[in-house]
A and B are shown apart, each in its own frame.
Chain A
């Protein structure tokens, strides 16, 4: 039995050693990624927290990623709550490569603060690899659990976790009742930031996390607004003649690519975030829409039917050179690029079924990661390892869910019974 001093850190993460399972994008796309078996044991103490318990939240987070296989720990009696006296034989017999243990205590009963102390233990090496402590308000219980998931994820994969991020989506109750909502990435703590009687489409979270741009039909035609999430104040970004749509933030959050349709052809323009400096990016006698920036800010990917059926193209904004990007399939839409610039996410029509697909931009290999029949609006998580998208069965209501980029885990996000569509994913914030 190994006994070691606890290294406890409050709130901030100081203990980050090299990761032992580095993710290779090509590996994930190419073959069956092995999921890491991990046992998240029930945390000791604080039984009066309602809803999901910390170990359930962490298991659910890690399971969603498609890179972990959380083991069923419900039958385990008297689970350890710290890394002292760990029975390694028992856990390795359960096939657990790692275990997470922890306890919840009341830190300051007057302020209602709680303290969560937890450890990640490597069963094979028989040693503790992370020990941390978080203190927060009782209302931050879920947030703290998500931070633990992030810590485990980053330690074991080498990439930042997205379990403490926010998403936004459009809720359509009926043809006269729409709202734009913000929620935790798993759908909890949702709240509307806009209620309206007209359709809302294409919300896009600014990379700096402060604003959401979206298209509203409230002026009896599509126009683009930018809403500040802190103040709730919104400004009209584009209300030019015809349709104004498809806002896409530049990586520095200072500019947007937008689409204007005066007459028959949708064309891509650039505009400063304050509404100044509008200029046309290119001219074409076809539909050009759904602009999306590469992370280096040099290329704008977009969908266009210039070749007949819709395909994905890109324009280099330094030299205006346009090239076609997708060649597989007759109908490809809705491009977005992963944050490392290596993967293209898009929607493909696969013999009448609309599915989410990923193209490796180095090898051009394509992997379909959803089944259809009517999936839409795929968007990357800020670490590029998860995809948020909408799905619906014939005759059913549209819902949102996540799919891991290896296609292994597709799971719903439950935010109610209305039609849920047009999601966007906020950045990783500290």
Chain B
């Protein structure tokens, strides 16, 4: 039974002729690569990926905060300005901002604090004309914080990370 089915389908494929390849069979590798790279290229252009990767300011992705604070320090305005311009110029681009906190204090308060930080970055972008629909904010709180830092060293964890969906 199995054998005859296999034979039947083989005949069907052969009968279909050499001009077409069945959709579920491995096709011409160069052909599928061609379509793949074409749509990727289109996406890359629409999103300005080259700019995103190459631009010195756009490649900076972390905004740092003071202990227990979520106001944006002036030195991060240029970075935020560059990302705002990028989002405004590339409407399909989607940003995810991930808020973090250092390990000190409670997990719950730090979850809320991380959220405040990611929203602070979002609002700074909003102020520069970026649409809410392009930005998602989430918080990891202290869950991925360095457990071994002391006092000032922990500043690395008090941050909001900018990521793009396409990456």
Contact = CB atoms under 8 A, between A and B. Distances in A.
Interface string A252-295: 00000001010111100000000000000000000101100000
Given A261-B115, A263-B119, A374-B104, A310 B147 contact: no
A259 B112 CA distance: 9
A265 B138 CA distance: 12
A309 B119 CA distance: 19
A331 B111 contact: no
B144 A266 contact: no
Given A264-B119, A287-B116, A354-B105, A310 B68 contact: yes
Interface stretch (A13-21, A183-191, A394-402): A394-402
B105 A201 contact: no
A246 interface: yes
A354 B140 CA distance: 21
A347 B107 contact: no
B147 A397 contact: yes
A245 B138 contact: no
B147 A333 contact: no
B104 A354 contact: yes
Chain A: interface size category: 35 or more
A264 B116 contact: yes
A289 B139 CA distance: 14
Contacts of B28: none
Contact of A199 (B105, B109, B116, B143): B143
B115 A266 contact: yes
Interface in B30-74: 68
A398 B111 CA distance: 18
B105 A333 contact: yes
Q: Which of B103, B112, B144: most chain A CB closer than 10 A?
A: B112
A303 B109 contact: yes
Contacts, number: 92
B4 interface: no
Contacts of B148: 394-395
A31 B126 CA distance: 56
B121 to A, nearest CB: 11
B144 A245 contact: no
Nearest to B139: A243
Interface string B62-88: 000000100000000000000000000
Given A331-B68, A347-B106, A376-B106, A243 B119 contact: no
Interface string B130-141: 000000011111
Interface residues of B, number: 27
A242 B118 CA distance: 12
Interface string B1-38: 00000000000000000000000000000000000000
A419 interface: yes
Interface string A360-395: 000000000000001011000000000000001011
B108 A310 contact: no
Given A374-B103, A419-B147, A245 B68 contact: no
Contacts of B162: none
Contact of B107 (A303, A310, A352, A377): A377
A29 to B, nearest CB: 23
B147 A266 contact: no
A290 B119 contact: no
Contact of A201 (B120, B137, B143, B150): B143
Given A261-B139, A395-B150, A347 B105 contact: yes
A202 B68 contact: no
Contact of B111 (A201, A347, A352, A392): A201
A394 B106 contact: no
Contacts of A398: 147
Given A264-B115, A309-B68, A394-B150, A290 B143 contact: no
Given A175-B144, A309-B68, A352-B151, A266 B106 contact: no
Contact of B113 (A263, A287, A419): A287
Q: Which of A242, A243, A259, A374: most chain B CB closer than 10 A?
A: A243
Interface of A: 175, 199, 201-202, 217, 220-222, 242-243, 245-246, 259, 261, 263-266, 287, 289-290, 303, 305, 309-310, 331, 333-334, 347, 349, 352, 354, 374, 376-377, 392, 394-395, 397-398, 419, 421-422
Interface of B: 68, 103-109, 111-113, 115-116, 119-120, 123, 137-141, 143-144, 147-148, 150-151
26 contacts: A201-B111, A202-B108, A217-B143, A220-B138, A259-B108, A261-B112, A261-B115, A264-B119, A264-B120, A264-B123, A266-B111, A266-B115, A287-B109, A287-B116, A289-B112, A303-B109, A305-B68, A310-B105, A310-B109, A331-B68, A333-B109, A334-B108, A376-B107, A394-B150, A398-B147, A421-B107
Given A245-B111, A310-B68, 16 more contacts: A199-B143, A201-B111, A201-B141, A221-B138, A243-B115, A261-B112, A264-B119, A264-B120, A290-B108, A303-B108, A305-B68, A331-B105, A334-B106, A349-B105, A354-B104, A395-B150
